[in-house]
Structure 1
Amino acid sequence: TPMEAAVVARAYGIPVLERRLAKSPEEAAKIADEVGYPVVLEVESPQVIHKTDVGGIVLGVESREEVIKAYRGILDSVRANVPAAEIKGVIVRRMAPSGVEVLIGMHRDPSFGPVIAFGSGGVLVELVRDVSFRVAPVSLEEAWEMVRETRAYRILKGFRDQPECDMDAVVDVILRVAKLATDIEEISDIDVNPFFVYEKGRGGLAIDVKILLKPTPPS
């Protein structure tokens, strides 16, 4: 689940936005009051991978009343679209300041092992298809090569009037994802998307982290 994936990512030094789990609309509102508005609400369910497709996420919630309404709306929508979903609650997190969106991920190929990916991120990732790959383990030099091979590099470097982004933070997360993939062979896929990259010296933040495990063979 997203909560479990965030715990694993943090253990490997990947900066992940803090998220807290609410089991009721009132608890969600209390958390939102504590973390500060605006907030994001998203369903916590092992069966819901793409939350946007099933109405499992609401962005930019500005008040206690809106939180309660959004919580109930998420549950209704997910139950309607994924009737078999086990809903563990709703995650509440603050809205992160926007940055340049990139993706960092891993897929465990049956022939090559863990293949690390970097490229342009966000919801348009499948349309843009701006990705470079390396087989783990990945060296510092290879991680930099991955970044420079993509069109995203032009934006990160400071496109037109935009400031240069913190590419050191990006390279660091590529190396940490590769380490996680080589350490834990039970992981089949890692998806850090989007990873918001801020101005040089300000780091970055993983907004969404997904970790999938290999299917357990029948006993």
Structure 2
Amino acid sequence: MKRKPQSPESLKVNVQAAQSVLDDVKRLGKSLLNDMEARQVIEAYGLPIPDSRLASSADEAVSAAADIGYPVVMKIVSPDILHKTDIGGVRVALESPEVIHNAYTEIVENARRLMPQAQIVGVDIQTMARGREVILGVNRDPQFGPLLMFGLGGVYVEVLKDVSFRVAPITRQDAVDMIHEIRSYPLLVGVRGEKSADIQAIIECLLRLSQLVTDFPQIMELDINPLMVGEAGKGATAVDCRMRISI
């Protein structure tokens, strides 16, 4: 029996909010958004992001963590630093004011020592999301348009290269198929008694990402890595986001 053809869904999004961030970035003459700017864009399209604050001093970092609640993650914010972990620009599971104060100093000093030419905006303090790591990505092909990618996230995507692709805009069935196509799909639904990841949350994020890059042709590249996916019914959180636009 043939599957009935589907059409891409039109989801409720905030086009103006996304447009405003992209316009501000373009006015600055930048093509690469920092992590916080990129998260503002995807948040406008309904992708869930962690609660976060930008700190420009160690004292501000301590105050931000108290507002958000422990444990927190701290990350260097710089348009010039793409691989934050490689330069000691990330700290996770921080649970006390003293540790956070020291971590801020260490993160900034690491960045200045290893990448002295980098512009440092500050340090992002965010709630610590837990779950399975997956990656959502987009690369705009000059012939086919925006090409969506899905796979296991974190370091796994570079090692395993276990990913699936579709040209946007995609349908809900396309999103389902993308998830099922990766070889490591059994890890998402759980092995040896593990609970399944929230597959419906991944589907929703893929659909919203598809609509975003369809609506904004100036988005040339976009990576959400990782998207932390909780257990079934617990949702997902876009922890890190990288975005490049045409200017």
Question: Could you tell me the TM-score, scaled by structure 1's length?
Answer: 0.94
Q: Does 1:195 align with 2:238?
A: no
Deviation of the 1:162 alpha carbon: 0.7
Question: Aligned ranges for residues 139-154 of structure 1 at < 5 Å?
Answer: 139-154=171-186
Offset at residue 160 of structure 1 (A): 2.1
* Secondary structure class of the residue paired with 2:54: strand
State which of 145, 148, 151 in structure 2 corresponds to 1:119: 151
Instruction: Provide the rounded CA distance (Å) in 2 between the counterparts of 1:155 and 1:101.
Output: 11
Q: CA deviation at 1:152?
A: 3.2
Aligned 1:13-162 pairs, distance under 5 A: 13-96=46-129, 98-162=130-194
For 1:106-135, what per-residue CA distance to the aligned partner results, in whole angstroms no more than 9, with x for missing partners? Answer: 011122111000011112310011100001
Name the CA distance, whole Å, in 1 between partners of 2:220 and 2:184. Answer: 25
Aligned mates of 1:10, 1:159 — CA distance in 2: 32
Give the aligned partner of residue 173 of structure 1: 205
Give the match for residue 23 of structure 2. none
* Cα separation, 1, equivalents of 2:235 and 2:95: 26
Instruction: Tell me the SS of whatever aligns to 2:193.
Output: coil
State the percentage of identical aligned residues.
43
Q: Are the equivalent residues in 1 in contact too, given 2:71–2:128 (CA < 8 A)?
A: yes
Q: How far apart are the structure 2 equivalents of 1:152 and 1:206?
A: 20
Q: Distance in 1 between matches of 2:189 and 2:92?
A: 29
1:11 and 2:44 matched: yes
Match of 2:241 among 194, 209, 219: 209
Q: What's the CA shift for 1:147? A: 0.5
Q: How far did residue 28 of structure 1 move?
A: 0.5
The code of the aligned residue for 1:142 comes to D
Assess if the C-alpha contact under 8 Å between 1:39 and 1:61 holds in 2: yes
Q: What CA deviation, in whole Å up to 9, does each residue of 1:66-89 have, x standing for no partner?
A: 111111111111111111111111
Aligned Cα root-mean-square deviation (Å): 1.2
Specify the SS of the correspondent of 1:114: strand
Q: For 1:152 and 1:101, how far apart are their aligned partners in 2? A: 12
Deviation larger for 44-53 or 199-208: 199-208
SS across alignment from 2:232: coil
Residue segments in structure 2 that go unaligned for 5+ positions in a row = 1-33
Q: Distance in 1 between matches of 2:53 and 2:184?
A: 31
Report the equivalent of 2:12.
none
Bigger Cα displacement from structure 2, 114-123 vs 29-38: 29-38
Q: Which runs of 4+ in 1 moved over 6 A?
A: none
Look up the SS of the partner of 2:126 in the other structure. Answer: strand
Gaps of 5+ in 1: none
Q: 1:149 and 1:45 mapped to 2: Cα distance?
A: 35
Contact 1:120 1:151 in 2 (8 A): no
Q: Are the counterparts in 1 of residues 52 and 68 from structure 2 also a CA contact under 8 Å?
A: no
Q: How far apart, in 2, do the equivalents of 1:90 and 1:173 lie?
A: 26
SS state at 2:63 partner: helix
User: Aligned pair count?
Assistant: 214
CA distance in 2, matches of 1:55, 1:124: 20
Cα displacement (A) at 1:39: 1.3
* 1:165 alignment partner, SS class: coil
